[in-house]
C-alpha cells in the first residue's frame, strides 16, 4: 500500500482504508493497517471505513479504537442504533459519515422502506436526521455512486452536508451521473472514492504508475463534470425556496437557534428564528449558501 | 478473561466477546482477544459481537475475519444494508444475529419509525425479513432486554427464531419482564447475555469466584422465570391462528415450499402450500411448533 499512497498523495484529497480487508488477514493485516496509516502524509485526512455502530458504552470503545489507536480523522458509522450510538464518535476535529444510501445492489431492501406520514424512504430520513444531529459539520453522509437519483434527492434534503461517495469503478457507479447528482450548489461537498479502480489499475511491477494514472484520470473526470455543472448553475434558476419552508442554517443565530422558518421570498429572503421568533431579512445568495438542510418542506405552489 | 471463562464455562451456554473493547486496546487488545477465544472450551459456541455490516465484497472479508481468522460460530450483523450484505455471513454451521431491537436508550430513533402500508415499526420489519432470509435457522435476532414490550411483539412475529438478548444487568433490563417476553412457546429460543454484571461482579482478587456466583444467580433467575412461564403456557389458550394468516413453517413441503396460508382453524389446522397449492391438515400442536414466523397476519375476528 505504501507505493500506492506515494504515487497518489498529491492527487488524493483523503484516504479511506477499508478495515475489513485488513481484519481478514489476521495479525498480518493488523500490521499492514498500521503501516498503511503510517505511510499517509500527516496533512491528508484519513477516513476509517469501518462501518461501526453499537450501544453508547461500546461505541465509545470503537471511537477510541478509530481515533486513539488508529489516529483516523473520520469514520463511517451505521445509523440503525440511533443518535446516542453516534454521539461517541462526535469529537472536535473528527468527522462521522453516516450510512445513508449504500452502493450495493440490495441497498433498497430497507433503505427504500416508506416511513412516517409523508412516506419518505428510510434513507431520506437518515439524511434529515444527519442534518439535525451534526449541524456543525461533524456529520456527513455515505451516498453510493450507484444510485444517482437517490443521491440527488439526498443533496436536496441536505444541501450543506459533506458526502462520501463510494461505488465508482468496480461497483459500476456512473461517474458523470453520480458526480452531477451529489455535488452541492458550489460544485463541492463530495469526496468521491475509488478503491479497486486505482489499487488494481495495474497488475505488473509498475502497479504504482498505473495507480497514479488511474487516480489522475479519475480526478480529471470528476473535475470535468464539476466544472460543467458550476457553469450551468450560474445561468440556472435560483434555489426553490418556498414560504413556510423550515430550514437549518450553517451559522447559529445570536440567540443560539439554528432552525428558521421562511416567511418571505424574493431577492431578499425573510426568515423567522424558531427559537427567539425574531425576523431577519437576508439576501438570497447568502441564504442559499447557508442552508444546511430543509427540516420540513412547504408544499410547492404547483402541488400545494 | 481466562479466569472468568474457567469460572463460568459449566454455566454459560455461549460466550459473546465484544470486539470493540479489544480493538480499543490496540495491539495488546488483539492479543487479548486471541487469548480469550483460545480459553473458551471447544464445545461452547462463540458469538462475535462485532456488529459488522457492509457491501457484499467487503462483508465477505468481514466474514473471513470472524469465521476464519477468529473461528467464531456466529456474529452480530447490522441489517441496514439489506439482504446481499448479510448473505456473506451465512455459512453452514454458522449463525447470524441481525440487530432488530437494540438495548440502548436511543434505539427507537430509527427502529420505531412507522413503515409501509401497515405502519409496522422498522424493527418489526427486520423481524419479518429475518424469518424470510434465514428460515433454515441460520439467522437470529438481537432483541434488547431493556424493551420487553418490543421483545414480545418480535416473538409474536418470529415464534421460531433464536434471540440474542443483551442488556440485562448494567444496562438496566428487567430480567423477569424480558425473559417472559422473549422466550418461545416451549420456554426456549433465547440466549440471555450479561457482560458487566458477571465480569465486574467482584473487584478483588477473588473476582472469578464473584463472577461465577453472579453467573449462577443469573442463570437460576432466568430459569425460574422460564419454568413459571412453561407451566402457565400449559394451561393457556392456544396460539391465535386466523384463517388467511400466511405462515412460514420449519420443515419445507415435499414440493420445496415453506410458506403456507391458513385455510381452516380448529383442533386440526388446514394449510395450503403457497407453492404447489396442495392442502394439508395438521394437528394444532404440530402446526404451532413448526411456525417460524407469520409472513402476513389476517385481521383478527374482533378488528376485521
Q: What is the rounded CA–CA span in Å between residue B168 and residue A56? A: 15
Contacts of B123 in chain A (CB under 8 A): none
Q: Is B303 within the bounds of a domain?
A: no
**Strongest mean pLDDT among A4-18, A193-207, A213-227, A234-248:** A4-18
* Best to test chain A binding among B22, B82, B169, B173 (most A CBs inside 10 Å): B82
* Statement: residue A188 has pLDDT above 50: yes
| The predicted structure's pLDDT at residue B303 | 46
pLDDT range class, residue A304, cuts 50, 70, 90: very low
* CA–CA min distance A267, chain B (Å): 38
Q: Using the predicted structure, report yes or no on whether residue B68 has a pLDDT greater than 80.
A: yes
- Averaged pLDDT, B129-134: 86
In a domain, A303, yes or no: no
Q: Contact B80/A64, CB-based, under 8 Å?
A: no
For residue B115, the chain A residues in CB contact (below 8 A) are: 113-115, 122
Residue A302 lies in a domain: no
What CATH number did the domain enclosing A258 receive? 2.30.30
Using a 10 angstrom Cβ sphere, with 0-12 exposed, 13-18 middle and 19 or more buried, the burial of residue A73 is middle
Residues B151, B37 share a domain: yes
Record the cell numbers describing residue A192, joined without a space.
Answer: 468521491
**A51 carries an active-site annotation:** yes
Q: How many helices (H) and strands (E) does chain B have?
A: 12, 13
Chains A & B: contacts with CB separation below 8 Å: 165
- Domain-terminating residue out of A185, A213, A234: A234
Q: Which residue in A16, A51, A205, A250 is the catalytic one?
A: A51
Q: In the sheet where B114-115 sits, what is the strand order?
A: A120-121, A114-115, B114-115, B120-121
- Does B83 sit within 8 Å of A20, measured CB to CB? no
Residue A178 resides in a domain: yes
Q: Are residues A140 and A41 in the same domain?
A: yes
Q: Are A69 and B24 inside 8 Å of each other by CB?
A: yes
**Contact across the interface for A102 and B116, Cβ inside 8 Å:** no
Q: Say how far residue B161 (Cα) sits from the centre of its chain.
A: 6
| Res. B133 pLDDT band, cuts 50 70 90 | confident
Does A196 share its domain with A47?
yes
Alpha helices for B76-147 (secondary structure H): 83-86, 108-111, 122-133
pLDDT at A105: 96
* Residue carrying the nine cell digits 447475555: B193
Q: Which pLDDT band holds residue A77 (cuts at 50, 70, 90)? A: very high
> Can you give the pLDDT at residue B301?
64
Chain B residue with minimal CA distance to A101?
A: B81
Residue B231 binned pLDDT confidence (cut-offs 50, 70, 90)? low
Q: What pLDDT score was predicted for residue A232?
A: 63
Choose among A24, A83, A104: nearest Cβ to B84: A104
Q: Distance between alpha carbon B156 and the CA centroid of its chain, in Å?
A: 13
Query: Do B126 and B261 form a contact (C-beta atoms < 8 A)?
Result: no
Q: Do A86 and A196 have their domain in common?
A: yes
Q: What is the pLDDT of residue B1?
A: 80
At which residue does the C-alpha cell 463511517 appear? Answer: A76
pLDDT of the residue at B172? 75
Q: What is the pLDDT of residue A269?
A: 93
pLDDT, averaged across chain B: 91
- State the CB neighbour count (10 A cutoff) for residue B174: 14
- What does the pLDDT look like over B152-174, one tens digit per residue? 999 999 999 999 999 987 777 78
> Closest Cα of chain A to B231: distance in Å?
35
Q: Does residue B274 sit in the same domain as residue B157?
A: no
State residue B145's pLDDT score: 95
- In this prediction, what percent of chain A has a pLDDT beyond 70? 96
- State whether A107 and B82 contact (CB < 8 Å): yes
Give the closest of A20, A110, A129 to B82, CB-based.
A110
Range from A162-166, B175-179, B239-243 that averages highest in pLDDT: A162-166
Give percent above pLDDT 90 in chain A: 66
- B247 φ/ψ sector (left φ>0, alpha ψ -120 to 50, else beta): beta
pLDDT score, position A226? 84
In a domain, B64, yes or no: yes
pLDDT-above-70 percentage for chain B:
96
Residue B301 domain flag: no
Determine the pLDDT at residue A294.
79
Residues A252 and A178 occupy one common structural domain: no
Nearest-neighbour CA in chain B from A101: distance (Å): 8
A264 and A230 in a single domain? The answer is: no
Residues of chain A positioned with their CB less than 8 A from the CB of B98:
none
Q: Model confidence over B96-117: pLDDT tens digits?
A: 999 999 999 999 999 999 999 8
The whole domain housing B46 covers: 2-234
Q: Cell numbers of A174, please?
A: 456512473
Smallest Cα–Cα separation from B185: which of B45, B290, B79, B58?
Answer: B290
Q: What is the model's pLDDT at position B7?
A: 94
User: Looking at A182, A205, A234, which one is the last position of a domain?
Assistant: A234
Confidence of residue B233 (pLDDT cuts 50, 70, 90): low
Q: Which residues of A touch B200 (CB under 8 A)?
A: none
What is the C-alpha separation between A107 and A112, in angstroms, rounded? 8
B-chain residues near A171 (CB < 8 A): 55
> Are A112 and A261 in the same domain?
no
pLDDT of residue A301: 64
pLDDT, chain A, mean:
91
Instruction: Residue A94: give its domain's CATH number.
Output: 3.20.20.70
The H-assigned helical ranges of A45-121 are 56-63, 83-86, 108-111
Residue A171 has pLDDT above 80, yes or no: no
- Of residues B25 and A294, more confidence is placed in B25
Number of domain units in chain A: 2
Work out the minimum CA distance from B95 to partner chain A, whole angstroms: 18
CA distance A29 to chain B (A): 10
Tell me the CA distances in angstroms from A172 to A215, B42, B204, one per residue in order.
16, 43, 57
The predicted-structure confidence for B189-220, as pLDDT tens digits, reads as follows: 999 998 888 988 888 899 999 999 999 999 98
**Which of A8-17, A78-87, A125-134, B12-21 is least confident?**
A125-134
Range list of H helices, B70-174: 83-86, 108-111, 122-133, 148-157
pLDDT at A228: 73
Distance of CA B56 to the CA centre of its chain: 23
Question: How far is residue A97's CA from residue A89's CA, in Å, rounded to a whole number?
Answer: 10
Is the pLDDT confidence value at B235 over 60? no
- The ipTM estimated for the assembled molecules is 0.83
Cell numbers standing for residue A166: 463510494
Residues B165 and B286 grouped into a single domain? no
- Same domain, yes or no, for B204 and B255? no
Q: Do B84 and A106 touch (CB under 8 A)?
A: yes
Which pLDDT score, from 0 to 100, does residue A153 have?
Answer: 96
Q: Do A113 and B122 touch (CB under 8 A)?
A: yes
Instruction: Give the end of a domain, one of B190, B205, B234.
Output: B234
Q: Identify which has the larger pLDDT, A255 or B289.
A: A255
B167: nearest CA in chain A?
A55
| Residue A243 to residue A253: CA distance in whole angstroms | 20
Q: Do A185 and A266 share a domain, yes or no?
A: no
Residues of A in contact with B133 (CB under 8 A): none
CA distance A285 to A274: 21
Does A263 map to a domain? Answer: yes
- Which one has a higher pLDDT value, A298 or A210? A210
pLDDT at B136: 79
Identity of the residue in B20, B84, B104 whose CB atom sits nearest the CB atom of A84: B104
**Is A139 part of any domain?**
yes
B287/B35: higher pLDDT: B35
Task: Note whether A128 and A221 are same-domain residues.
Answer: yes
CB contact under 8 A, A65 and B126: no
pLDDT in tens, B252-282: 888 989 899 999 998 899 999 999 999 999 9
Among A149-153, A253-257, B90-94, where is mean pLDDT lowest? A253-257
CB neighbourhood size of B233 (10 A):
14
Could you read off the pLDDT of A7-30 as tens digits, one per residue?
999 999 999 999 999 999 999 999
Contacts of B108 in chain A (CB under 8 A): 82
Amino acid at each position: 500500500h505504501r507505493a500506492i499512497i506515494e504515487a497518489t498523495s498529491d492527487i488524493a484529497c483523503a484516504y479511506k482504508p477499508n478495515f475489513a480487508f485488513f481484519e481478514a488477514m489476521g495479525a498480518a493485516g493488523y500490521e499492514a493497517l498500521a503501516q498503511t496509516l503510517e505511510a499517509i502524509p500527516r496533512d491528508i485526512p484519513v477516513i476509517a471505513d469501518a462501518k461501526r455502530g453499537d450501544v453508547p458504552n461500546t461505541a465509545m470503545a470503537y471511537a477510541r479504537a478509530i481515533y486513539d489507536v488508529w489516529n483516523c480523522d473520520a469514520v463511517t458509522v451505521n445509523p440503525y442504533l440511533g443518535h446516542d450510538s453516534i454521539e461517541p464518535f462526535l469529537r472536535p476535529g473528527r468527522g462521522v459519515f453516516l450510512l445513508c444510501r449504500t452502493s450495493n445492489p440490495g441497498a433498497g431492501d430497507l433503505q427504500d422502506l416508506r416511513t412516517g406520514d409523508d412516506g419518505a424512504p428510510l434513507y431520506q430520513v437518515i439524511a434529515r436526521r444527519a442534518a439535525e444531529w451534526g449541524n456543525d459539520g461533524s456529520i456527513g453522509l455515505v451516498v453510493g455512486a450507484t444510485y444517482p437519483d437517490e443521491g440527488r434527492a439526498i443533496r436536496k434534503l441536505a444541501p450543506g452536508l459533506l458526502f462520501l461517495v463510494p461505488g465508482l469503478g468496480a461497483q459500476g457507479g456512473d461517474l458523470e451521473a453520480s458526480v452531477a447528482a451529489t455535488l452541492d450548489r458550489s460544485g463541492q461537498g463530495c469526496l468521491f472514492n475509488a478503491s479497486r479502480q486505482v489499487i488494481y489499475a495495474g497488475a505488473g511491477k509498475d502497479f504504482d504508475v498505473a495507480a497514479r494514472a488511474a487516480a489522475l484520470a479519475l480526478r480529471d473526470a470528476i473535475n470535468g463534470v464539476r466544472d460543467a455543472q458550476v457553469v450551468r448553475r450560474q445561468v440556472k434558476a435560483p434555489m426553490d425556496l418556498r414560504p413556510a419552508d423550515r430550514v437549518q442554517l450553517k451559522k447559529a443565530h445570536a440567540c443560539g437557534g439554528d432552525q428558521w422558518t421562511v416567511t418571505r421570498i424574493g431577492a431578499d429572503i425573510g426568515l423567522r428564528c424558531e427559537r427567539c421568533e425574531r425576523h431577519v431579512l437576508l439576501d438570497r445568495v447568502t441564504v442559499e449558501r447557508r442552508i444546511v438542510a430543509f427540516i420540513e418542506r412547504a408544499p410547492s405552489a404547483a402541488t400545494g
